[in-house]
């Protein structure tokens, strides 16, 4: 082997070893400095300073900060932490950099509004943020919709929700169902049917894959939350009439209590437990459900069931 070839081989091996070594060390350093990267970014906490530092390219900077919001929220959410201290400052910077970044108001207010550990548990701040979005973009009817949604689901303020939907319905080119929502809020004060209506409309009104997937999951959860209590009521009816719990759903079908084998939205048959409870086959595939969970398992819900109709 010539000297040059030997040098090439040795250098290549050392290069690969050094790269692997640096990667491994960086992983160790990251493990020691959890969350440090983001904290460093927030050494600049003033939105106006960040705007000036962007040298006029504030649109790109806003996108970068919005991505940081998403990453930060995702990381905290994954860690099941109840603290989202940087969420509001990051959103503030994002909105200052680009006051027309609608998606930041839509999702940001939602991230803020949800109860921990699903969100920051700051529904009032979420309302302020959504109102800020509306002030900057008064013709974006979707922002009124999100505002109404926060009032409805997180603050249980149905009057404010109805107001928000009503204001949104007055925006030119607003979707007609905003008016329906305003009326529904005023009339019912919130129920599962309204929640289904909201998620269905989200599903129909967006092309974003993530939002659509989320809406589908929530609609499935709503279905499960409606079906499971209904099935359990049938089981109890069977118990009352026959003096014992049914052993299986086919037994109930044979006795005329059910028309067919009940299946969850994913197509799996519901499970009838020996104590008369009904469970879903695969709770991991049905996030956000409140009913049909195995004992001891906490609901992973973002949706809070509204109080019973008055």
Q: CB neighbours (10 Å) of residue 244?
A: 7
Nearer to another protein, 62 or 112 (CB): 62
- Check binding of 118 to another protein (CB under 8 A): no
Q: Considering only the stretches 22-30, 48-56, 191-199, 223-231, report the one whose residues sit in contact with another protein under the rule CB under 8 A.
A: 48-56
Among 92, 98, 154, 157, binds another protein (CB under 8 A): 98
Instruction: Report the distance separating Cα 101 and Cα 289, nearest Å.
Output: 32
Minimum Å distance from CB 297 to another protein? 28
Residues near 245 by beta carbon (within 8 Å), at least 6 away in sequence? 235, 238, 239, 274, 275, 276
Running DSSP on this structure, what letter comes out for residue 70?
A: H
106 touches another protein (CB under 8 A)? yes
Judged by CB under 8 A, how many residues of this single chain contact another protein?
22
Is position 210 an interface residue for another protein (rule: CB under 8 A)?
yes
Q: Interface with another protein includes 44 (CB under 8 A)?
A: no
DSSP 70-133: HHHHHHHHHTT-S--TTHHHHHHHHHHH-TT-HHHHHHHHHHHHSPTTTS---HHHHHHHHHHH
| Beta carbons of 111 and 76 less than 8 angstroms apart | no
Considering only the stretches 37-45, 64-72, 84-92, 126-134, report the one whose residues sit in contact with another protein under the rule CB under 8 A. Answer: 64-72
User: Tokens 């930041």 map to which residue?
Assistant: 104
Q: Is 67 in the site for another protein (CB under 8 A)?
A: yes
Q: Which of 36, 60, 247, 254 binds another protein (CB under 8 A)?
A: 60
Nearer Cβ to another protein (37/67) = 67
Our finding on whether 49 is near another protein (CB under 8 A) is no
Q: Is 262 helix (H, G, I), strand (E, B) or coil?
A: coil
Residue 239 to residue 233: CA distance in whole angstroms: 10
| DSSP at 310 | -
**Cα(282)–Cα(220) distance, integer angstroms:** 13
How far are the Cα atoms of 146, 276, 278 from residue 167, in angstroms, in the given order? 12, 47, 42
**Which CB sits closer to another protein, 68 or 167?**
68
> Which is nearer to another protein, 56 or 243 (by Cβ)?
56
Tokens standing for 226? Answer: 């409606």
Report in angstroms how near the CB of residue 81 gets to another protein at its nearest: 20
Minimum distance, C-beta of residue 1 to another protein, in the bound complex (Å): 34
Q: Is 267 in the site for another protein (CB under 8 A)?
A: no
63 binds another protein (CB under 8 A): yes
Min dist CB 147 to another protein, Å, is 18
Is 100 a binding residue for another protein by CB under 8 A? The answer is: yes
Q: How far is the CB of 191 from another protein (least distance, A)?
A: 29
Nearest of 186, 196, 243 to residue 223 by alpha carbon: 196
Q: Strand, helix or coil at 236?
A: helix
Q: Using the structure block, give the residue that is written with the tokens 């107001």.
A: 163
Where do contacts with another protein occur on this chain (CB under 8 A)? 52, 55-60, 62-63, 66-67, 70-71, 98, 100-101, 103, 106-107, 208, 210-211
């Amino acid at each position: 082997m010539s000297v040059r070839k030997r040098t090439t081989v040795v250098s290549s091996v050392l290069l690969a070893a050094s790269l692997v070594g640096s990667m491994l060390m960086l992983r160790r350093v990251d493990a020691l400095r959890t969350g440090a990267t983001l904290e460093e970014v927030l050494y600049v906490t003033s939105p106006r300073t960040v705007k000036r530092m962007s040298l006029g390219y504030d649109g790109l900077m806003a996108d970068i900060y919005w991505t940081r919001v998403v990453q930060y929220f995702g990381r905290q959410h994954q860690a099941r932490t109840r603290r989202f201290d940087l969420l509001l400052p990051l959103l503030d910077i994002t909105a200052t950099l680009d006051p027309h970044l609608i998606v930041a108001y839509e999702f940001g207010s939602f991230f803020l509004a949800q109860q921990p550990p699903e969100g920051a548990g700051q529904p009032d701040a979420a309302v302020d943020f959504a109102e800020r979005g509306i002030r900057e973009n008064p013709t974006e009817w979707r922002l009124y919709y999100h505002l109404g949604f926060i009032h409805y689901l997180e603050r249980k303020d149905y009057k404010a929700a109805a107001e928000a939907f009503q204001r949104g319905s007055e925006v030119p080119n607003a979707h007609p169902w905003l008016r329906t929502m305003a009326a529904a809020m005023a009339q019912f004060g919130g129920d599962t049917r309204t929640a289904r209506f909201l998620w269905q409309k989200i599903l129909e009104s967006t092309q974003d894959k993530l939002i659509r997937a989320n809406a589908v999951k929530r609609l499935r959860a709503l279905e499960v939350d409606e079906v499971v209590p209904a099935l359990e009521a049938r089981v109890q009816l069977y118990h009352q009439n026959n003096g014992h719990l049914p052993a299986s759903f086919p037994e109930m079908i044979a006795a005329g209590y059910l028309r067919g084998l009940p299946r969850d939205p994913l197509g799996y048959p519901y499970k009838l437990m020996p104590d008369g409870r009904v469970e879903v086959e695969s709770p991991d595939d049905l996030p956000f459900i409140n009913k049909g969970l195995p004992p001891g398992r906490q609901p992973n819900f973002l949706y809070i069931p509204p109080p019973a109709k008055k």
